Chains A and B, each alone.
Chain A
Amino acid sequence: MNNSSDSSEDKGVVIQVKNTQKETVNDFLKKAMEQGVFDAVLISMKVPAGDSFAYVLLTDKELLKDTFPLPPIMSVQGAKAISSITRRGKGNKKIAAIMRPCEIRATVELTKLGQIDLDNIVLISMDCFGVMPTPSFIKDPEKSLKKFEDAIRIEDDTVMRPVCRICDKSSMVAGDLHIGTRGVQKDAFFIVSNTKKGKDILDKLGLISNKNIDTWLAKVKENAKEKQKKRKQAHKDLQSSIKNLDKFLDTFSHCINCHNCMRACPICCCRVCYFDSDKMKHPSDDYLRIAKSKGSIRFLPDTTIFHIGRMVHMSLSCVSCGSCEDACPMSIPVAQLFSMTADETQGLFDYIAGKSLEEPLPLTTFIKEELSEVEDVHD
């Protein structure tokens, strides 16, 4: 037993890497399954055709050897997968979900929105170096995968998606356990527990958190700081590209109204999107009236209001995961715009989406002094 008074936050478990990091992570999961710590694992795997990746709920531990914990693309946001599994309530078996930090954060938001039951789920995150844009990856999957692996080796984020390049939360944020690969020797990585649930699992596996993790912490901090700087600059540049209404409308003007961004978004968890519903179908006289007042009206209607409406509904929970942008067939920088807006709106409430399960959603709390920044000031 670890009797040291150090909190688990500043100590971790060191796991020696055999062959590759990926294999060692899989070995860890296999061992946990063998010991009955988890009954199933939700993890990414190459699709049979070999040109993409998908989440699988895996109960046969022998299949773990084929899994891919940090795939080069985010074809499905992991939070959506967990929500599919537990939307109707928790199951009896323990499931470990191995995901990226932004997927874990979306999971936390969906839990607060009642779309996930985390009772029998163990969330395991890993240091993330970003993913490639899906459209560019699938042009030549084999070559792209090599490019991705090379990029990680030399820590070059230029091949990653724009939102990944400015992600300042690419390490442990929430979740129960975290696998830290930054700032460690090539032949080892850290496992750090973040919750009691996480610590209990390490205990059950006989893993003692007694190793100094300062090198990891320092590297994570350094990376976050650098990314924050880049993020600020990127948002500033972006802001100038939409700084008036015309420019803003121009940005969305080639939207084809496919609503893919909404479907790929983990936070957009409505059963029916309001904008797809009959409530947004109006009598033809209404359209004629608008046409009459403006000379003409664009069809399909409600293209821009859809994006603004979506922004209003989800920006407080947006985790900047980039799924929407990957899904956009017209290459509109939706994720970049949404992440910029999210930083602002969440900042107003001193809220960071997905950081903590205990922190209530901003719209469910009332603090008198809140929002003074946006109030009209009358003397």
Chain B
Amino acid sequence: MDRKIGVYICECGPNIAEKIDIDKVIKAVSPLDDVSIATRYKLLCSEQGKKFLEEQIKKNGLTHLVVAACSPRDHQHTFMTICENAGINPFLFQLANIREQCAWITENKEEATNKAIRLTKAAIGRVRYHVPLEKKEIESNPDVLVIGGGIAGMEASLHLASPQRKIYLVEKTSQLGGVVTNLEKTFPDMQSCPKIIQDKIDQVTNNDNIKVYTNCEVTEILGFFGNFEGTVTQNNNEDKTTVGFNVGAVVLATGCALFDPTDDPNYGYGKFDNVITALEFEKMNLAGNIRLKNGKTPKSVAIIHCVGRDKKGYCSEICCMYSIKFVRYLQNKIPEIKISNFYTDLCLPEKSYQKFYEQSRGKKNDFIRIDSIKITNPGNKLTITHNDEQGNKKSHGVDMVILSPALEPSVDTKKLAEFTRISQDDEGFFAEEHEKLGPVTTSTEGVYIAGCAQGPKSIQNTLIQAEAVAGKILSSLIPGKKIEPEVKVAHISESFCIGCKTCLTVCSYGVITFDSTKKVCVANEVICRGCGNCVAACPSGAASLKHFTFNQLRQELKEAVL
């Protein structure tokens, strides 16, 4: 094959020019096979630079392009577009990073120059074996399946719904609103909650572009970004009716459940009267009926924070704040009441939480730090025994105990994670793609998480996530626009594959299936994200990644190392 490789070295202003002897690099790579031109330019990413490159490709009849410049994260795309404009396949290009990985980090100019020579040679060695790859386009459906009709799911639905985009909102219970419908007020602004939530519910139900399915569960999700098939089953009647629909994206907004305090006998929950959970207290308060079992009004209450935190291993973020909100409820409704808060650590982030806590402290309201606690009921009087910070054992008698339990993943998390082929984190919540860099996306493209389904969260943070999810979907799943699947995807050679299924276990995207007739594994190129896990784990060399073939890597390495 007659190759004509053009090698262009970018000075990047003084960035590369001052640190690397570019002429020496040119001299070293010019005599290499297939290199028809090697030269330097001041700033290849500038408008003039781009024009220069395009003209050079055409004028010299280049078949392959190597640019030695910055990180591919900066300008790989720029130079690939130039290739396209100049009429060569953009994958017949390779970028050698001689700025971040060389000029900026190697002090000695001679060493930096030698390294730049190796990196440029490696790029030339590799580009020789590049093959043209074609971008594909597939139709996509802009509609969205939102699972969970709580605050997160409703918020995302409202942002997403439009005449061009139908939303299917699936709620397991008989009504929308989720856990928030039990609250009288929200912290820290102490605004009335039922009104806020009713407004949202009305907006959702009155929106023509949102189809709400209550008493329904998702029973299957197949497909990939732009083309998912969801099946929903009605669960209130005997003959289970199922509905199926095609959507482009899936939002998991299934909220969370509460840690069951009966798991820890120290709390006496389920054993003694008047030991209740935070949610039971919210309901009692919303009904305007804070009463003991015997109908009397409590004179003293203990609120126990951090219930189950030891077992769960994480802080549930909102328990301190709603516990303090309970203090406000109680002070407001039973002014004479004595309240004791028992906590192991206080979690008061955000700009207004600390103030909320400070303003809630008072004579009849203690905050007591403990390291262990036990609730007993001698002579029908609830008694709290705890160790204080000095390790002294103390006891308190109270009328009522409110437990603030940890938040845990809702029961359907595992099932839905399997349907959508995403993973769960160590705590069992849906795992986001990246804790910092991808907080609402997941390992499956087109599947997003909002709210407590991803981890314990306040209402405001839940709304932020719901909005972020909407933003992600609105910007990537545009009605009428086709989507481009990844081009650099895995391929499993039928003749090499030994059917050991190792690749199946390491693929995070559900790309690979086992063909039991042929006894080989098969990769679905449309959903492959090109991570290369299967290639690394394949013991027989059957799996390969386009644009990162063994030969391409080998040739690159050979030049870089030898």
Interface stretch of the complex, out of B105-113, B351-359, B501-509, B522-530? B501-509
A265-313 CB contacts (< 8 Å) to partner B: 269-272, 274, 277, 279, 282, 285, 289, 313
18 sample A-B contacts, Cβ–Cβ < 8 Å, listed by A number? A113-B498, A113-B500, A114-B499, A270-B539, A270-B540, A271-B497, A271-B498, A271-B540, A272-B495, A274-B540, A313-B539, A313-B541, A363-B502, A363-B536, A363-B537, A364-B502, A364-B506, A364-B537
A88 within 8 A of partner (CB): yes
For residue B71, give the distance in angstroms from its CB to the closest CB of chain A. 19
B33 within 8 A of partner (CB): yes
Chain B residues within an 8 Å CB radius of A15: none
A292-340 CB contacts (< 8 Å) to partner B: 313-314
Seen from chain A, the residues whose Cβ lies within 8 Å of a Cβ on chain B are: 88, 112-115, 269-272, 274, 277, 279, 282, 285, 289, 313-314, 360-361, 363-364
| In-complex Cβ contact of B502 among A272, A277, A361 (8 A) | A361
| Given A271-B540, A279-B551, A360:B505 Cβ within 8 A | yes
| In-complex Cβ contact of B506 among A112, A271, A363 (8 A) | A363
B245 within 8 A of partner (CB): no
Chain B residues within an 8 Å CB radius of A314: 539
Chain A residues within an 8 Å CB radius of B33: 285, 289
B104 within 8 A of partner (CB): no
| In-complex Cβ contact of B495 among A112, A271, A363 (8 A) | A271
For residue A124, give the distance in angstroms from its CB to the closest CB of chain B. 25
B496 within 8 A of partner (CB): yes
For residue B357, give the distance in angstroms from its CB to the closest CB of chain A. 35
> In the bound complex, how far is the Cα of B520 from the Cα of A115, in angstroms?
12
Chain B residues within an 8 Å CB radius of A113: 498, 500, 502, 539
Chain B residues within an 8 Å CB radius of A272: 495-496
Interface string of B29-43 (1 = CB under 8 A from A): 000010000000000
Let me know if B496 and A270 touch, CB within 8 A: yes
Chain A residues within an 8 Å CB radius of B536: 363
B519 within 8 A of partner (CB): yes
B52 within 8 A of partner (CB): no
| In-complex Cβ contact of B550 among A270, A279, A289 (8 A) | A279
| Given A270-B541, A285-B33, A114:B501 Cβ within 8 A | yes
Let me know if B500 and A115 touch, CB within 8 A: yes
**Minimal Cβ-Cβ distance residue in B for A270:** B540
Chain A residues within an 8 Å CB radius of B498: 113-115, 269-271
Interface string of B537-549 (1 = CB under 8 A from A): 1011100000000
> In the bound complex, how far is the Cα of B541 from the Cα of A363, in angstroms?
14
For residue A48, give the distance in angstroms from its CB to the closest CB of chain B. 33
Chain B residues within an 8 Å CB radius of A361: 502
B24-70 CB contacts (< 8 Å) to partner A: 33
| In-complex Cβ contact of B505 among A88, A269, A364 (8 A) | A364
For residue B229, give the distance in angstroms from its CB to the closest CB of chain A. 29
Chain B residues within an 8 Å CB radius of A269: 498, 500, 540
> In the bound complex, how far is the Cα of B506 from the Cα of A282, in angstroms?
31
For residue B501, give the distance in angstroms from its CB to the closest CB of chain A. 5
> In the bound complex, how far is the Cα of B499 from the Cα of A138, in angstroms?
37
> In the bound complex, how far is the Cα of B122 from the Cα of A161, in angstroms?
44
**Additional A-B contacts beyond A114-B501, A269-B498, A313-B539 (5; CB < 8 A):** A114-B498, A270-B539, A271-B497, A274-B540, A279-B550
**Which size bracket describes the interface of B in this complex?**
10 to 19
Let me know if A274 and B496 touch, CB within 8 A: yes
For residue B123, give the distance in angstroms from its CB to the closest CB of chain A. 16
> In the bound complex, how far is the Cα of B452 from the Cα of A128, in angstroms?
58
For residue A181, give the distance in angstroms from its CB to the closest CB of chain B. 35
Name the 7 nearest CB pairs between A and B, nearest first: A274-B541, A270-B540, A114-B500, A364-B505, A113-B500, A363-B537, A313-B539
**Minimal Cβ-Cβ distance residue in B for A288:** B33
> In the bound complex, how far is the Cα of B500 from the Cα of A314, in angstroms?
13
Chain A residues within an 8 Å CB radius of B551: 279, 282
Interface string of B486-498 (1 = CB under 8 A from A): 0000000001111
> In the bound complex, how far is the Cα of B495 from the Cα of A115, in angstroms?
15
> In the bound complex, how far is the Cα of B499 from the Cα of A274, in angstroms?
15
For residue A163, give the distance in angstroms from its CB to the closest CB of chain B. 22
**Minimal Cβ-Cβ distance residue in A for B32:** A289
B454-509 CB contacts (< 8 Å) to partner A: 495-502, 505-506
**Minimal Cβ-Cβ distance residue in A for B1:** A283
Let me know if A88 and B540 touch, CB within 8 A: no
Chain B residues within an 8 Å CB radius of A285: 33
> In the bound complex, how far is the Cα of B129 from the Cα of A285, in angstroms?
13
| In-complex Cβ contact of A277 among B496, B501, B505 (8 A) | B496
> In the bound complex, how far is the Cα of B550 from the Cα of A277, in angstroms?
13
> In the bound complex, how far is the Cα of B537 from the Cα of A279, in angstroms?
19
| Given A114-B500, A274-B496, A279:B541 Cβ within 8 A | yes
Chain B residues within an 8 Å CB radius of A279: 541, 550-551
For residue A310, give the distance in angstroms from its CB to the closest CB of chain B. 11
For residue B73, give the distance in angstroms from its CB to the closest CB of chain A. 21
For residue B507, give the distance in angstroms from its CB to the closest CB of chain A. 11
> In the bound complex, how far is the Cα of B562 from the Cα of A289, in angstroms?
13
Chain B residues within an 8 Å CB radius of A112: 500
Chain A residues within an 8 Å CB radius of B539: 113, 270, 313-314, 363
> In the bound complex, how far is the Cα of B462 from the Cα of A182, in angstroms?
67
> In the bound complex, how far is the Cα of B505 from the Cα of A112, in angstroms?
12
Chain A residues within an 8 Å CB radius of B495: 271-272
For residue A7, give the distance in angstroms from its CB to the closest CB of chain B. 31
For residue B505, give the distance in angstroms from its CB to the closest CB of chain A. 4
Chain B residues within an 8 Å CB radius of A271: 495-498, 540
Chain B residues within an 8 Å CB radius of A88: 519
For residue A131, give the distance in angstroms from its CB to the closest CB of chain B. 27
> In the bound complex, how far is the Cα of B495 from the Cα of A361, in angstroms?
23
> In the bound complex, how far is the Cα of B502 from the Cα of A269, in angstroms?
13
Chain A residues within an 8 Å CB radius of B497: 271
> In the bound complex, how far is the Cα of B542 from the Cα of A271, in angstroms?
10
> In the bound complex, how far is the Cα of B499 from the Cα of A361, in angstroms?
15
For B500, B505, B519, which residue has the most chain A Cβ atoms within 10 angstroms?
A: B500
Chain A residues within an 8 Å CB radius of B537: 363-364
For residue B244, give the distance in angstroms from its CB to the closest CB of chain A. 34
**Minimal Cβ-Cβ distance residue in B for A365:** B505
> In the bound complex, how far is the Cα of B147 from the Cα of A34, in angstroms?
61
